[in-house]
Amino acid sequence: MKTIGVLTSGGDSPGMNAAVRAVVRSASARGIKCMGIYRGYKGLIEGNIKELTATSVCDIIQKGGTVLYSSRCPEFKTEEGMKIAIDNCKKFGIEGIVVLGGDGSFRGATDLSARGIPCVGVPCTIDNDIASTEYTIGFDTALNTACELIDKLRDTIGSHDRCSVIEVMGRNCGDIALEIGIATGATATIVPEEPFDFNTDVLQRISSAKKAGKNHFIIVVAEGVGGVYEMAKEIESKMNIVSRATIIGHIQRGGSPSVKDRVTASLLGNRAVELLAKGISNRVVGMNNNEVIDTDIFEAFKMQKAFRTDLYELSKVLNL
Amino acid sequence: MKTIGVLTSGGDSPGMNAAVRAVVRSASARGIKCMGIYRGYKGLIEGNIKELTATSVCDIIQKGGTVLYSSRCPEFKTEEGMKIAIDNCKKFGIEGIVVLGGDGSFRGATDLSARGIPCVGVPCTIDNDIASTEYTIGFDTALNTACELIDKLRDTIGSHDRCSVIEVMGRNCGDIALEIGIATGATATIVPEEPFDFNTDVLQRISSAKKAGKNHFIIVVAEGVGGVYEMAKEIESKMNIVSRATIIGHIQRGGSPSVKDRVTASLLGNRAVELLAKGISNRVVGMNNNEVIDTDIFEAFKMQKAFRTDLYELSKVLNL
Amino acid sequence: MKTIGVLTSGGDSPGMNAAVRAVVRSASARGIKCMGIYRGYKGLIEGNIKELTATSVCDIIQKGGTVLYSSRCPEFKTEEGMKIAIDNCKKFGIEGIVVLGGDGSFRGATDLSARGIPCVGVPCTIDNDIASTEYTIGFDTALNTACELIDKLRDTIGSHDRCSVIEVMGRNCGDIALEIGIATGATATIVPEEPFDFNTDVLQRISSAKKAGKNHFIIVVAEGVGGVYEMAKEIESKMNIVSRATIIGHIQRGGSPSVKDRVTASLLGNRAVELLAKGISNRVVGMNNNEVIDTDIFEAFKMQKAFRTDLYELSKVLNL
Amino acid sequence: MKTIGVLTSGGDSPGMNAAVRAVVRSASARGIKCMGIYRGYKGLIEGNIKELTATSVCDIIQKGGTVLYSSRCPEFKTEEGMKIAIDNCKKFGIEGIVVLGGDGSFRGATDLSARGIPCVGVPCTIDNDIASTEYTIGFDTALNTACELIDKLRDTIGSHDRCSVIEVMGRNCGDIALEIGIATGATATIVPEEPFDFNTDVLQRISSAKKAGKNHFIIVVAEGVGGVYEMAKEIESKMNIVSRATIIGHIQRGGSPSVKDRVTASLLGNRAVELLAKGISNRVVGMNNNEVIDTDIFEAFKMQKAFRTDLYELSKVLNL
């Protein structure tokens, strides 16, 4: 393999740039040229492709977002689009591609692999919702961002004896909510994976915390559950506690990556290049028991993510 | 004056604790005892009052929120409530009160003054909406909090060629929006003080920035104007740019105070005690041309806050 | 077991308060009373012991330092001191103790255990230097603090084409230096575990990075190696690059704990109480493959910490 | 004036990029072309000069350091160097230059002005040591950086009953130390402007704070005074309090600029262009009573900076 490409696709996540850098530097160290494909699969179709050298990725390890940009590309899902993409790979000499993104982006990768362009996926999403890896790049930074903001809200609700109902990201996966619930001492944590009864799991918990002497309350709700404005209203009306809802939203996706995200991105980007360099394709890299692994991409799609029931139960034990 | 009281009222703001500390320490240095009145005027009525010593306010200068808590107190506006409050002042030996808060809180202070308990107001609100001072404690911290969050959003919108419409705090006063608009290079800044035409002031500005080569756009909107969700929809449909709305909300009220807020709180808390110690009452302290001033409280109520037209115009010159 | 004690000993680390909270709440959930022992073993000797209730540990999860304080206590190593400590345990009804700290603190714990007060250790140190666990509470926060500061230094050295030689904490263990070296893209990383030749491992690496087009350089040095001022001078004189040394120092020990440290502290504090509640003693809790484990305390002392050679090698591949 | 240049010189300061952006955008809005001169006066001599357009300065407002780089240039002080610089101005059509930096950089500006290239200075230095303006760009960010770090140290010294002696920047000007002393509640603040007696001003203050019940102590020392390691030793030996010294150093120069620095940079960069556009030269812009001013550059050099005795005295009143 003489030349590989790298692209970022789907929602950006902190650490993507660290992963891009790792791919480029790791390729460079092996004497492999690396082409940056801009705006994801769209760039592959439009030929928006430029060489990245070891020094061109200097000082991006600390940057949020993605220097390669990301974009939707419905055209890539058409036979015609795919054909142009493959032609561009040939035109630019790209013999393999590292795809940074989530499950959706990896499906595109399998289409390219099937047409002779070996691909390896690197899991980059703040949601931690990829079953084949225990960790996705960006998760830790998003957690710390959300936690810092809730710490600020705590100042206000603590001063006013209030309740704050906060939506954190996570459509199908409650991992952000789960860890944030523990880390902020939330009186209740609501995730898509577990059924909840508002009366028992929220109102009664607030009530017993109040009885125990607590004067302010944090309720953490995953995006996939939603309804924070309604919840705040109901808490206010039924519990007589001034309650406010906050949706943190995309702020969780930005910001300089944490050390964990930089180091994990470095490990995974490096492994992805290692695989391509050995001619191995259709793999998703990831972490398992803190070690770098790689998984067959089709196997990966079939996996079911386990829910951290231990953390869910722990939050009920530790949090008033 | 042998004993004074201090209370925080209205919304909390970063720097309130630094001001409480300054009041207590400044009193202590003058041999005056200082009583902490908890949960604002409510604490005055309920007798929730405890002595604060020079060491009891150690290590609060860096804390957000208010260690004295704040609360609504409709009872304080009744003749009966006022009577109990005055009785409690006598009971606890309180001969003067430093009131930390906004205009609403200062009105309560005049009622106490009229009944023989001299009061001095210290402007604490993130909105910078008090006419008698060029600066209110908490404003700078709120600005930096909002700015850091928008810097994070910038990572995401810059990576995806998007538009972000962001509501920052400020009901009647656009000062937060104004400075944030400059500091984040917002393509448009919308404040309650200036009429705006969505087509000219937002859509056309985005359009010409796009023509100049810009690929992502920040629109800053003051809370008092609102409507960010609708604006995002309209930008998306009319400009064909993916657009998202974010309401930063109360997060702006929390967090450790900035140096400016700590220093200003120290200066103003100290002056408030100085005035009470000299038997001067019914004043609001504040800053003018970077110097500490104090103003007759009734004069202060009549003042009109000047809008920083220079900043508003500058943002149009500097921001694509 | 009806009553347990909890103390923090040795250097503080971010997440200690989260662990104290977890111990108290976990005990409370099991109907066990929890006594806070202040200033480590010194408090045990001086009887500086007070009950901690589930609500008394509200709002400490986000605080750096330790609300229980920490202190040296040479007296504890004497027979007489030990006797008083045991007497105080009886006096306060303490039937078991959770000790938060590092290896030194755990040795004290074994002495108590040997005299009939069962103890369990919870590893709290920013250095990650405890062999029986893959992670020690505080490590992640210290990493992020050091990384943020070096990101700031990068602004300056990047603007001035300079070299920055930075000492991070870690006396015998290079883990902080190792991860920081990766995360900041350090041109060279020097740890106590690996021999280094200044000429080959530092000067030549700078030289080849410069040749590749890099204009500024970060050298990360573990505390246990030291000598950053001399290194900076040598780089400046031999390479003709303005070089400055910085010792980050104890700043790395403070600050609000990261989510990872809060969650890990919650898990480990809870497990420690679980063990004591079951009458199990002389254990150190910890993490292995991301799962909570506990290890015989004497076995733990004999273990050798493995050095992450993979990270050390990776940093040479990825960093110019 | 059709074309101006902009350069950054001397030590970098946060907000320099915001000022560069303001200069470019303000020129652009007036139909004036703006050339970026790289690495200060060195770039003028070496012809390292490129056009900056309104969009080329997108997304730099939030960046620390200087995108134009800075460098020493002894050659510029020679007659020959000056001649080349003037020739390059002609070659690139540069009819006036905005110089961002401190007093040293402004002296170079007067040399250029004397040879027919009108210059205007914009005060950029974290030290706040320019007499003609009450504020220099970067000061506020440096303050907040130093303050956040000391807040972290406070966690540790508070947990261990220790003393921390901290050197902050400021060679001849104690402004950083002064405001940091207030903002961190330092028991003693030592600045170059005021003589101090170690026994009275440090040891005795610690002693009386200890007597009042305080258990940890912060001593803030300006760089221009120095000697923090010796002070820590003396405090430890004479007061029997474990004491540690920390030199924050260049970390204070980096980081994303605060809102105040971004807004001030926007105002001052804009005014500098306004002056050049009107053919006015040899001015230093600045702030006075929160308003933008400009001063004759030779007058500016003669001014004496007033020391904020009020803050110095206040810190003695408020800080135990």
Return d(Cα A66, Cα A254) in angstroms, integer. Answer: 10
Task: Quote the tokens at residue D2.
Answer: 């059709």
Give all strands of the β-sheet with D217-222 in edge-to-edge order: D188-190, D217-222, D163-168, D243-247
Give how far B317 is from chain D: nearest CA, Å: 6
Active site residues of C: 127
From chain C, the residues in CB contact with A182 under 8 A are: 262-263, 266
- Say which CATH number the domain at A33 has: 3.40.50.450
Residue with token string 């609102």: B226
Q: What three-state secondary structure class fits A269?
A: helix
CA D164 vs. chain centroid, Å, equals 25
Task: Quote the tokens at residue C125.
Answer: 């140190």
Contact C6, C119 (CB under 8 A): no
Residue D84 DSSP symbol: H
- Which chain A residue shows the shortest CA-CA distance from B154? A254
Same domain, A275 and A225: no
Give how far A220 is from chain B: nearest CA, Å: 15
Phi, psi of B8 (to 5 degrees): -115, 140
C3-8 and C33-37: which strand pairing?
parallel
Contact C61, A183 (CB under 8 A): yes
Contact D22, D261 (CB under 8 A): no
Which of B313, B318, B319 is best to mutate for the D interface (most D CBs within 10 A)? B318
From chain B, the residues in CB contact with A228 under 8 A are: none
Residue A230 contacts by C-beta under 8 Å, 6 or more apart in sequence?
Answer: none
C163-168 and C188-190: which strand pairing?
unpaired
Is C266 within 8 Å of A318 when comparing Cβ atoms? yes
Which of A128, A290, A318 is best to mutate for the C interface (most C CBs within 10 A)? A318
- Residue of D25, D59, D213 lying closest to B318 (CB–CB): D25
Task: Quote the tokens at residue D242.
Answer: 């474990």
Return d(Cα B57, Cα B63) in angstroms, integer. Answer: 11
What ipTM does this complex have?
A: 0.97
Q: Based on C-alpha coordinates, what's the Rg of chain C?
A: 22
pLDDT recorded at residue B153: 98
pLDDT recorded at residue A290: 94
pLDDT recorded at residue A148: 98
CB atoms within 10 A of CB D313: 11
Return d(Cα B268, Cα C103) in angstroms, integer. Answer: 49
CB atoms within 10 A of CB A30: 14
Beta strands in chain B (DSSP E): 3-8, 33-37, 49-52, 97-101, 119-123, 163-168, 188-190, 217-222, 243-247, 283-288, 291-296
Q: What is the pLDDT of residues D186-244, one digit of tens each?
A: 999 999 999 999 999 999 999 999 999 999 999 999 999 999 999 999 999 999 999 99
Divide the 320 residues of chain D into consecutive groups of 10 and give the mean pLDDT of each group: 96 98 98 98 98 97 98 94 97 98 95 95 98 98 98 97 98 97 98 97 98 96 98 98 97 98 98 97 96 97 95 96
The kind and range of the H/E element at C284 are strand C283-288
C49-52 and C33-37: which strand pairing?
antiparallel
In a domain, D153, yes or no: yes
Name beta bridge partners: B119. Answer: B97
Name beta bridge partners: C52. Answer: C34
Is A254 within 8 Å of B69 when comparing Cβ atoms? no
- Which chain D residue shows the shortest CA-CA distance from B289? D289
CA A177 vs. chain centroid, Å, equals 13
In a domain, C318, yes or no: no
Give how far A45 is from chain B: nearest CA, Å: 17
Same domain, D174 and D274: no
Q: What is the pLDDT of residues C77-89, one digit of tens each?
A: 999 999 999 999 9
In a domain, C204, yes or no: yes
Return d(Cα A188, Cα A203) in angstroms, integer. Answer: 9
The CA distances from residue B294 to A227, B112, B123, B297, D125, in Å, are 47, 19, 11, 9, 32
- Residue of B22, B158, B310 lying closest to D318 (CB–CB): B22
In a domain, A319, yes or no: no
- Of the candidates A27, A259, A253, the residue with the CA atom closest to the CA atom of residue A120: A27
Return d(Cα B22, Cα B4) in angstroms, integer. Answer: 13
Q: What is the pLDDT of residues C96-119, one digit of tens each?
A: 999 999 999 999 999 999 999 999
Q: What three-state secondary structure class fits A261?
A: helix
Residue count of chain B: 320
Residue A83 contacts by C-beta under 8 Å, 6 or more apart in sequence?
Answer: none
The CA distances from residue B173 to B220, B221, D260, in Å, are 14, 11, 18
Calculate ∠ Cα C73-C78-C81, nearest 5°.
70
> Which residue among D127, D129, D140, D261 is the active-site one?
D127
Largest Cα span, chain D: 70
Give how far D191 is from chain B: nearest CA, Å: 17
Phi, psi of D220 (to 5 degrees): -105, 130
Same domain, D196 and D230: yes
Domain count, chain B: 2
Q: What three-state secondary structure class fits B172?
A: coil
Helices (H), C65-216: 79-91, 103-114, 139-160, 175-183, 204-212
Amino acid at A295: T
Return d(Cα C38, Cα C6) in angstroms, integer. Answer: 9
Same domain, C229 and C208: yes
Residue with token string 């007798």: B47
Contact A80, A112 (CB under 8 A): no
pLDDT recorded at residue C205: 98
The residue out of B230, B253, B276 marking a domain boundary is: B253
Calculate ∠ Cα A319-C267-C296, nearest 5°.
145
Is B251 within 8 Å of A149 when comparing Cβ atoms? yes
Which of B12, B13, B156 is best to mutate for the A interface (most A CBs within 10 A)? B156
Task: Quote the tokens at residue D43.
Answer: 């770039």
In a domain, C308, yes or no: no
Is A250 within 8 Å of B156 when comparing Cβ atoms? yes
In a domain, B113, yes or no: yes
Given a cut of 50, the residues of chain A with pLDDT beneath it are none
Residue with token string 């196997």: A299
Residue with token string 């995360």: C183
Is B151 within 8 Å of D25 when comparing Cβ atoms? no
- Residue of B54, B260, B317 lying closest to D260 (CB–CB): B260
Same domain, D247 and D278: no
Give all strands of the β-sheet with A243-247 in edge-to-edge order: A188-190, A217-222, A163-168, A243-247
- Residue of A147, A179, A270 lying closest to C314 (CB–CB): A270
Divide the 320 residues of chain C into consecutive groups of 10 and give the mean pLDDT of each group: 96 98 98 98 98 97 98 94 97 98 95 95 98 98 98 97 98 97 98 97 98 96 98 98 97 98 98 97 96 97 95 96
The kind and range of the H/E element at A278 are none
Same domain, D224 and D263: no
pLDDT recorded at residue C107: 94
Ramachandran category for residue D133: left, alpha or beta (phi over 0 → left; psi -120 to 50 → alpha): beta
pLDDT recorded at residue A87: 97
Same domain, B109 and B123: yes
Divide the 320 residues of chain B into consecutive groups of 10 and give the mean pLDDT of each group: 96 98 98 98 98 97 98 94 97 98 95 95 98 98 98 97 98 97 98 97 98 96 98 97 97 98 98 97 96 97 95 96
Same domain, A23 and A131: yes
Is D160 within 8 Å of C12 when comparing Cβ atoms? yes
Is B55 within 8 Å of D320 when comparing Cβ atoms? yes
Which of A206, A252, A263, A268 is best to mutate for the C interface (most C CBs within 10 A)? A263
Residue A211 contacts by C-beta under 8 Å, 6 or more apart in sequence?
Answer: none
pLDDT recorded at residue A67: 98
Q: What is the pLDDT of residues C147-174, one digit of tens each?
A: 999 999 999 999 999 999 999 999 999 9
In a domain, D311, yes or no: no
Is A213 within 8 Å of C55 when comparing Cβ atoms? yes
In a domain, A314, yes or no: no
Phi, psi of B99 (to 5 degrees): -105, 120
Residue count of chain C: 320
> Which residue among A12, A103, A127, A261 is the active-site one?
A127
- Residue of C25, C55, C214 lying closest to A318 (CB–CB): C25
From chain A, the residues in CB contact with C259 under 8 A are: 140, 143-144, 147, 179-180, 183
- Say which CATH number the domain at A245 has: 3.40.50.460
Same domain, D99 and D24: yes
Calculate ∠ Cα D52-D58-D62, nearest 5°.
120
Same domain, C50 and C13: yes
Task: Quote the tokens at residue B276.
Answer: 């009470």
pLDDT recorded at residue C150: 98
Domain that includes residue B173, residue range = 142-253
From chain B, the residues in CB contact with A250 under 8 A are: 153, 156, 164, 244, 246
Same domain, B128 and B40: yes
C243-247 and C163-168: which strand pairing?
parallel
Active site residues of B: 127
Name beta bridge partners: C244. Answer: C164
On whether the pTM is more than 0.95, the answer is yes
Same domain, B38 and B81: yes
Beta strands in chain D (DSSP E): 3-8, 33-37, 49-52, 97-101, 119-123, 163-168, 188-190, 217-222, 243-247, 283-288, 291-296
Burial class (CB in 10 A: 0-12, 13-18, 19+), C316: middle
